[in-house]
Structure 1
Amino acid sequence: MSRDRYVDFLRAWAIVLVVLGHWLITGLVREPGGAISAPELLAVVPWTQWLTLGFQIMPLFFLAGGRSAGDSWSRARAAGGTAAGWVGRRSLRLLLPTAVYSGLVLLAVGICAAVGVDSGTLSLVGWAMGMQFWFLPVYLVLGALTPVLHAAHGRWGLRVPLAVAAAAALADVLVLAAHAPYVGLLDYVLVWGVAYQLGFCWGDGLLTRNRTTPVALAAGGAVAFAALVGPGPFPVSLILVTGQDPSNTDPPSVAMLAWAVAQVGLCVLVAPAVRRWLVHDRVWRLVRPVGGVSMTLYLWHMLPVLVLAAAFYLTGLAPEPAFGSPSWWALRVPWLLLLGLVLAGVVRLLRPVDRGLAAVSGRTRPAAAPRRPWLVWLGLAAAVPALARFAVQGFAPDGRFPVLPAAGLAVGTALVGLPWDRARRGSPEAKDALEPAA
């Protein structure tokens, strides 16, 4: 089965917008005493919340992930693979680079704490280095549920995402009306699970059999979003704003669900035109490298912010016009360019690490039918909560080393990788090992 360049393009496009969005809203200020603070742009300059409509692109990650996961699981099942073996292989490709990244950040946290770095500064930096982690536990859970979700898709098709969407809406009602915040945690899986499940439907042609389906998704999602953020109770921002209640992202709201559905419909509508564009080798040579390092970009893209903060803000070299002023916005252009140059250097330095992780993932990973499948599930049970803790509290909560989450991620990654099996060249499992992690 040939790879769909459009799915790879979606990954690349999504990661580029995520990186640019995080960089754009990150504004640094040098305080009179020399400390560095990071005012919340979306709260200080409220009109910028409208920009999140363009930069909140995570539905495409889950749509592309569902599309590729459905194809991959179908091949593995046809070749005699088991759910535990497939889930273990897919999970390990996410956990290995994440564990390496986390280990290096935690090492830096431990050193900084030992030499007496200010706890507030350490906590802020630790949060900045883990802010993107929310995606990982959700994606790992959906990956673990893929065999069940795909079986449901095979039986009920489009009725599955409709049922999941209804469950997400019900959970949102309970959060708002019954003040049951813990019920909202389900929406992390339910809301993003709709986009993931629609990826199965897209792969099987259920979204493309007639033009009315993607049009209905795009138009219906957009109209529902407008109603929910206009006369409805939800804010326009699709990124968390401190103090904003209700929020569209913490947990994902029914408004976020509507926007995700609209994005899916638009994505399917423009697919033929973009595929014709991607046929050209010159275009593909620009897209393919980004997709190949998508996990590296996702994990490491906040490191350049720390580098520039140390080089220009701690030293007082950075010009500092009024936060959110026209001059401040003009300086966003060199800010983004410098961050891009630093990130390109980071990616280049990490190239040997990426090759090493790809080799480990391709040659040593859970067997297609591991003898101890419970190790895979136990490993995920340890790793997922650890990643969620990093996403919420960062790598240095209150300036302290996070012992339990660090141990959970290390043990979880090891357990997922314990049922080792050497890949057979040319097998469906070996081919899947070469796919992007997300």
Structure 2
Amino acid sequence: MGSDRDRYVDFLRAWAIVLVVLGHWLITGLVRHPDGRITAPELLATVPWTQWLTLGFQIMPLFFLAGGHAAGGSWVRARAGGGTAAGWVGQRAVRLLLPVAAYCCLVLLAVGVCSAAGVDPGTLALVGWAMAMQFWFLPVYLLLSALTPALHALHRRWGPRVPLAMGVVALAVGAAVAGGGDGPYAGAVEALGALNYLLVWGVVYQLGFCWRDGLLGGSGVGDGSGVGGVRGGSGVRGAWRVAGVMAVGGGAGFALLVGLGPFPVSLILVTGQDPSNTDPPSVAMLAWAVAQVGVCLLVAPGVRRMLEGAAVWRWVRGLGAASMTLYLWHMLPVLVVAAAFYLTGLAPQPAYGSPGWWGLRVPWLLVLGGVLGCVVAALRPLERVLAVLGARVRPEAGLRGVAAWRLWGGIGVSVWALTYFAGHGFAYGGRFPLAAAVGLALGTGLVMFPRRRDGGGAVGVQGVLEEAA
């Protein structure tokens, strides 16, 4: 990337990916029972003090902050070049949906084969849940991407007042959900609460726009110095002030909401915990996200200096290039290790959550890291095919008319299917999710509907494979 700020945004993505992977691996513990069954007790519920660890591992605000920063710049350039909202959204959607659809296709194929082979429905449901536990992010991010042209128009007019207003509405929605109870309107209240997925994470996404435009105490894109990319003493002091207020204010708000309010400390869903900070995102989650944004701005100068090193930048760039693969496939190594060491009884079995169990977390993480490296290497040919296919089917920048409406419909269907997988896994109740599988295939097909190139025919699979080779 060209500027220091671009490097820092890429660093945030890479750092977030690393913590997501390590966090999921750390809280996943397997137990082999005398009858041979393998279960995965919920660490955060079984060992409650571990809920404090989520304060460090709940790093998704960084994804939305970096995503808003990058999307804002991308949409500004597309708009200046005469691109339409549908064309820009379609190009972004193809980049997301192609690898996700390939992942889902392979996982669903495995689910179908296992179901036909008579695998225990409970085991199949557990595995299907594990392979989809990261999916909640995808429909939210896809929706925010689709709304970016409208959200950025609001940003250009009202700037930081937009995330402030969204935060106020999120607070009102959270209060309505908290007071909704289990009465006759419980279903409507639950549907209302789902808005906070867009509102809470949308606040952070919108702050990415503000950060890029220097509205968090900075002076705009490209300066690359000081907090928020500011030059000059007074500008730097103003940037530090804004970042400090966000970090301290957000952190203090979270502490009050947890210490005096009804919210738990866990920033990851814990079964049976009500209210939850993530399902839907609560005002406590919003406070923590604002604090994280402030910390990101405060540490930016030091991290930027670190990123000037060629070796560090190579690592960041490599992680960024593999980020989608790592995000989608990082739970597969857990299944591989479970089959190799737990089904066979080779894994030692100290008491769950005991000091001995924690000591084994180190080799557990190292083995999973080695397996994931092999998985990433094995997937490189598929990544090349998807890259070439994505370039061939990406919508035109000026997409309009019926084709644009088809694309919006495809995004809507894809969001529904991804939401189903996020909430139910790939084998809910041990059954193959036919409706969601068809929905994702249909939605992805509508988004990446083959376009004609240079007067030629539709994209051919053989041509894509030849280009990838």
TM-score bin (small chain): over 0.9
Aligned to 1:409: 440
2:234 matches 1:232: no
Bigger Cα Rg: 2
**Aligned-pair CA distance for 1:422:** 5.6
2:386 matches 1:377: no
2:196 matches 1:187: yes
Cα distance in 1, alignment partners of residues 270 and 180 from structure 2: 22
Cα distance in 1, alignment partners of residues 392 and 39 from structure 2: 45
Question: What is the letter of the counterpart of residue 409 of structure 1?
Answer: L
Check the 8 A contact 1:363/1:421 in 2, yes or no: no
Check the 8 A contact 1:6/1:271 in 2, yes or no: yes
Which residues in structure 2 correspond to 1:259-408 (within 5 Å)?
259-371=288-400, 372-408=403-439
Cα distance in 2, alignment partners of residues 363 and 271 from structure 1: 37
Pick the aligned partner of 1:246 from 275, 282, 285: 275
2:198 matches 1:198: no
- Once the two structures are superposed, what CA deviation does each residue of 1:247-270 show, in whole Å capped at 9, x if it has no partner? 000110000000000000110111
What SS is found at the alignment partner of 1:63? Answer: helix
Cα distance in 2, alignment partners of residues 354 and 5 from structure 1: 23
**Aligned-pair CA distance for 1:419:** 6.0
**Aligned-pair CA distance for 1:369:** 1.5
Cα 1:349–1:171 change in 2 (3 A) is same
Cα distance in 1, alignment partners of residues 257 and 332 from structure 2: 36
Cα distance in 2, alignment partners of residues 166 and 91 from structure 1: 29
What SS is found at the alignment partner of 1:9? Answer: helix
2:82 matches 1:84: no
Alignment RMSD: 1.1
Question: What is the letter of the counterpart of residue 121 of structure 1?
Answer: T
Aligned to 1:138: 140
Aligned to 1:426: none
**Aligned-pair CA distance for 1:352:** 1.2
Question: What is the letter of the counterpart of residue 252 of structure 1?
Answer: P
**Aligned-pair CA distance for 1:299:** 0.2
Cα distance in 2, alignment partners of residues 120 and 394 from structure 1: 12
- Once the two structures are superposed, what CA deviation does each residue of 1:117-162 show, in whole Å capped at 9, x if it has no partner? 0000000000000110000000000000000000000000000000
**Aligned-pair CA distance for 1:86:** 0.4
Aligned to 2:2: 2
**Aligned-pair CA distance for 1:421:** 6.4
TM-score between both structures, scaled by the size of structure 2? 0.89
Cα distance in 2, alignment partners of residues 269 and 360 from structure 1: 40
Pick the aligned partner of 1:129 from 128, 131, 150: 131
**Aligned-pair CA distance for 1:2:** 2.5
Which residues in structure 2 correspond to 1:49-68 (within 5 Å)?
49-68=51-70
Question: What is the letter of the counterpart of residue 241 of structure 2?
Answer: T
Cα distance in 1, alignment partners of residues 285 and 198 from structure 2: 13
Cα distance in 2, alignment partners of residues 117 and 359 from structure 1: 36
2:45 matches 1:16: no
Pick the aligned partner of 2:161 from 159, 162, 176: 159
Cα distance in 1, alignment partners of residues 27 and 72 from structure 2: 35
Aligned to 2:461: none
Pick the aligned partner of 2:71 from 58, 69, 72: 69
**Aligned-pair CA distance for 1:178:** 2.6
TM-score between both structures, scaled by the size of structure 1? 0.95
What SS is found at the alignment partner of 2:123? Answer: helix
**Aligned-pair CA distance for 1:208:** 3.2
Percent of counterpart pairs with the same letter? 69
- Once the two structures are superposed, what CA deviation does each residue of 1:25-72 show, in whole Å capped at 9, x if it has no partner? 000000111010000000000000000000000000000000000000
Check the 8 A contact 2:393/2:449 in 1, yes or no: no
**Aligned-pair CA distance for 1:207:** 1.1
Number of residue pairs matched by the alignment: 423
Cα distance in 2, alignment partners of residues 111 and 124 from structure 1: 16
Residue segments in structure 2 that go unaligned for 5+ positions in a row: 182-188, 219-237, 455-469
Cα distance in 2, alignment partners of residues 385 and 349 from structure 1: 30
